[in-house]
Amino acid sequence: PDSARQCRKRLDIALGPRYEVRESSSAAAARPARGFRADYGFVATMDREIMRDPERELMEIEARMSREAWVRATDASDLVHGEVMSLRTTVLGQMSGIRELQAVNRRRHIVISELLRIDHRRSTEISELRTALQGQ
């Protein structure tokens, strides 16, 4: 029974009808039959496929994409921050200009009010002089 199980193991390792299995069940014991050459490229491809870990690959892709998203978000944040600072500087400059214009407007308003008072006083004086001249 035990030797029959070992024979089955050896048969499971056999790669196909082109190969023959010797006494040992190791991979080195398998050799091509009838002059066929082993396709080591195919074996290497199969080894790579077996050793490929799709879950690990997905995790690596997710990690790479997360890093890229983080970099893009950081770049966008920096860009927006720069634009906000630029707009803030513009608004502060405009507010300063508005304050200066308001001060100029107040001074002009004072001058105009004073000129109107002077004009009214002169107009009153002229009316009084006319009345005095007409009364003579």
Highest mean pLDDT among 8-17, 49-58, 73-82: 73-82
Greatest mean pLDDT among 5-9, 14-18, 46-50, 108-112: 108-112
Of the chain, the percentage scoring pLDDT greater than 90 comes to: 54
Q: According to the model, what pLDDT value does residue 80 have?
A: 98
**pLDDT bracket for residue 100 (50, 70, 90):** very high
- Structure token digits, residue 61: 């892709």
pLDDT at 1 over 80: no
- Higher-pLDDT residue of 66, 26: 66
Contact 29, 23 (CB under 8 A): yes
Mean pLDDT, the chain, whole residue set:
81
Asked whether the beta carbons of 18 and 33 are under 8 A apart, the reply is yes
HEC per residue, the chain: CHHHHHHHHHHHHCCCCCEECCCCCCHHHCEECCCCCCCHHHHHHHHHHHHCCHHHHHHHHHHHHHHHHHHHHHHHHHHHHHHHHHHHHHHHHHHHHHHHHHHHHHHHHHHHHHHHHHHHHHHHHHHHHHHHHHHC
In this prediction, residues 29-37 reach a mean pLDDT of 54
- What's the confidence (pLDDT) of residue 32? 52
Find out whether 25 and 10 touch, Cβ atoms under 8 Å.
yes
In the structure, what pLDDT confidence band is assigned to residue 105 with cuts at 50, 70 and 90? very high
